[in-house]
Amino acid sequence: MQDLIFEQFQQVGKDLLWLGLSTSHGGNMSVRHAGHMIVTTHFAMLGRLGPGDLVEIPLREEPDRIAGGASSDAGLHQLIYRFTPAAAIIHAHPPHAIALSLRSDMIAPRDLEGSVFLREVPVVDPEQTNSRIPQVLQTHVAAVIRGHGSYVVGRTLSEALAYTSALGFSSHVAYLDELLTDKD
């Protein structure tokens, strides 16, 4: 596995934790690479990734045959790659986006940056994850599983991090706006 790819995973993993966009062992990441997918292992600490925390698997491998300790979301990552032009995927747990997902079917950023980068972020019910997330990510850069977390696509891990960060910030702003509106 290329050192540059590993370094990108390490830096983005540290940034996700530092920015409060995931828990110590929550979330996962992957990149499309030469007909394969490089994905974090199940229960990897994204903020402290080591060489053994990444697995390379064929994009066309059947999800129930994925071995090597790959993230339990590896099958969903494969589906996203099959149905979108994404080259990188981040699954994170931005707390304010999760909170908003409990009350709405769509997160509409109220800040300028979020409205430009994200436009709107559909919320998908957990039982529809595998069928709806790949479909939604054909036309959106981000989607949120109700009560769980976000899936964000990009051309690179850095771009997917930028969108994940924008989602976290926009959701925080929307949450604060709702709090202030409720007090009026």
Q: Could you give all domains of the chain from N- to C-terminal order, each with its CATH number?
A: 3-183 (3.40.225.10)
Report, as an integer, the average pLDDT of 81-94: 97
Kindly tell me if the per-residue pLDDT of 182 is higher than 90.
no
Q: Is pLDDT of 29 > 70?
A: yes
Maximal C-alpha separation, the chain: 55
Residue 165 pLDDT class (50, 70, 90 cuts): very high
The reported pLDDT for the residue numbered 66 is 63
- Report pTM: 0.95
The reported pLDDT for the residue numbered 64 is 57
> If you average pLDDT over each of 37-41, 59-63, 65-69, 179-183, which comes out highest?
37-41
98/150 Cα distance (integer angstroms): 8
The CA-based angle 20-23-27, given to 5 degrees, is: 105
Instruction: Say what the pLDDT of residue 65 is.
Output: 59
Percent of the chain predicted with pLDDT > 70: 95
Residues contacting residue 3 through CB under 8 Å, at least 6 positions apart = none
| E strands in the chain | 28-33, 36-40, 54-58, 88-92, 106-107, 121-124, 142-145, 149-154
Q: Is the pLDDT at 63 greater than 70, yes or no?
A: no
